[in-house]
Amino acid sequence: MSAPVTIRDLMTDSDLFGQQFGVDSWSAWRALLAAFYGLQLSKAEQGVVEALTGRHAPPEAASEELWLVMGRRGGKSQAAGLLAVYEACFNDHRDKLSPGEVATVMVLAADRKQAKVVFRYISGLLNGNPMLKRLIVREDKETIELNNRCVIEVTTASFRSVRGYTVAAVIADEIAFWRSDESANPDTEILRALRPAMATLRGKLIALSSPYSKRGALWNTYRRHFGKASPVLVAQAPTLTMNPTLPDKLVADALEDDASAAKAEYLAEFRDDLEQFITREVVEAAVRTSPLELPFNRAHRYHAFVDPAGGGQDEFCIAIGHHEDEAIVVDVVRARRGTPAEIVAGYASLLASYRIKQVTGDKYAGSWPADEFKKHGIDYHPSEQPKSGLYLDLLPALTSGRVELPPDTRLINQISGLERRTSRAGRDSIDHGPGGHDDRANVVAGLVTTKHKSRYDLERLVNGDPVQRTETSKPIAAIKAAGIPL
């Protein structure tokens, strides 16, 4: 029997991928991947591996997991493709498979576009090599089946994609950017769901990502294993170390443009200007068990906040709520995609059923929401506060237990997915993370904080605060006319 093909052979042999990966610019990658599979390293490679992994010595045997924290355009997706091909073609699992069972090399990407990029790399590598091309039995948009009972699957990271497989290897591309409306921690949870599927074949886990904030699976693994002797090999490298062909100027310009973002994107440093804005525990403590929506009750006065969306991917959202003593109860949160006029018509009848005649909404939406709601006899008032301001006011209301939220998973995930970014100028901004959404969080924040304001004005008016009163007081009649509940 001939010696098994190593990752180094695959990258250097001219009958395999030597032409592409055997050149100088891929030398850091060759050293790292050889170290991952426990191969002999040259002195120079040992130096590279020690520098990139923060270890005193390269691992002595193959590692179980490889986590690469690397800059954008550093060759991560290409390497992911190469590793998928290696694991599928050169790691024979047949003796461990039951009759009819296939081994899956699963490549998970942050979104469809990135999944396509990796799939193209894989398909290109296999189809471009006459020897490997012969292994292909079937190829469709995201699957390549080989004649050795191995299948390569490239999909977006989701819970749906990970069930029911026997997994030979998991390759997680850009894991720091995996997002899901169904979970606040899709990276950790998807990996957890996959581990049993990997157990029979002792499958390898390979994660490659640019870093993002100091949260999530990438950060936790980095913190636990970087620089330590462990079966989990972690490396960190700026783009130019891994891909010296990238023009320096591109990195220099990006750093000048937005240093915090570029340090993460190209220098592979985790960002410390970002933190979770509201913890999941605080949000969950505010959630009622049921029902999802509370029906109209004539004892209450209701008000509403909307976040219009003009079609496309964003959701057009509405929240309806009322006061109970010091607390604000969020009765209804709805989100719809589709024709704005139809959504407004639907929301207008919902508002009517709660006897609401006016709504507050996003002020950047332009004039169409006001015109559209007017057609149904509802006044639309643009919110005075920008989104960040609404969130800043939502935080104390939630932490002090003054808000009751509906048991809406997406809403909970959106609120706990909000990020606070501190800028050097001292102005914090709060928004969803990359690829995330916050439409539902936005309407709830608007509802909770807008109501606060009107109540505050009212209290000042009723209790008589003479200093303030001269600045802000309005006749009760005007408040009534504006529809602010007394």
Ligand X SMILES: Nc1ncnc2c1ncn2[C@@H]1O[C@H](COP(=O)(O)OP(=O)(O)O)[C@@H](O)[C@H]1O
Report how far residue 381's alpha carbon sits from residue 393's, in angstroms, rounded to the nearest whole number.
Answer: 19
Question: Closest approach of Cβ 254 to ligand X, in Å?
Answer: 13
Report how far residue 181's alpha carbon sits from residue 413's, in angstroms, rounded to the nearest whole number.
Answer: 6
Judged by CB under 6 A, does residue 26 bind ligand X? yes
Question: Closest approach of Cβ 351 to ligand X, in Å?
Answer: 47
Query: In the window 224-263, what residues touch ligand X (CB under 6 A)?
Result: 242-243, 245
Report how far residue 176's alpha carbon sits from residue 210's, in angstroms, rounded to the nearest whole number.
Answer: 7
Query: In the window 71-90, what residues touch ligand X (CB under 6 A)?
Result: 72-78
- When CB distances are held under 5 to 8 angstroms depending on the partner's kind, the choice from Mg ion, ligand X, none that residue 279 binds is none
Helix/strand/coil for 303: strand
Question: Closest approach of Cβ 193 to ligand X, in Å?
Answer: 24
- Beta-bridge partner residues of 274: 421
Distances (CA, A) of 135 to 127, 230, 372: 10, 35, 59
Per-residue DSSP letter, 116: H
Give the x-and-dash track for 424-443 against Mg ion (CB under 5 A): --------------------
Judged by CB under 6 A, does residue 303 bind ligand X? no
Instruction: Say which amino acid occupies 204.
Output: K
- Residue 72 or 451: the one with the smaller Cβ distance to ligand X is 72
Report how far residue 169's alpha carbon sits from residue 106's, in angstroms, rounded to the nearest whole number.
Answer: 6
Pick one of 53, 63, 77, 416: the residue that binds Mg ion (CB under 5 A).
77
Look-up of token digits 């921690």: 185
Token couple for 275: 């933190």
Q: Torsion angle of alpha carbons 216, 219, 222, 223, nearest 10°?
A: -100
Query: In the window 42-71, what residues touch ligand X (CB under 6 A)?
Result: none
- Residue 75 or 216: the one with the smaller Cβ distance to ligand X is 75
Token couple for 375: 């057609």
- Residue 76 or 93: the one with the smaller Cβ distance to ligand X is 76
- When CB distances are held under 5 to 8 angstroms depending on the partner's kind, the choice from Mg ion, ligand X, none that residue 78 binds is ligand X
Q: Quick one: which segment of 21-29, 151-159, 349-357, 415-423 binds ligand X (CB under 6 A)?
A: 21-29
Report how far residue 50's alpha carbon sits from residue 40's, in angstroms, rounded to the nearest whole number.
Answer: 14
Kind and range of the H or E element at 236?
strand 232-237
Question: Closest approach of Cβ 121 to ligand X, in Å?
Answer: 7
Report how far residue 386's alpha carbon sits from residue 235's, in angstroms, rounded to the nearest whole number.
Answer: 40
- When CB distances are held under 5 to 8 angstroms depending on the partner's kind, the choice from ligand X, Mg ion, none that residue 472 binds is none
Give the x-and-dash track for 428-467 against ligand X (CB under 6 A): ----------------------------------------
Query: Interface residues with ligand X (CB under 6 A)?
Result: 25-26, 29, 72-78, 242-243, 245
Interface contacts to Mg ion, rule CB under 5 A: 76-77
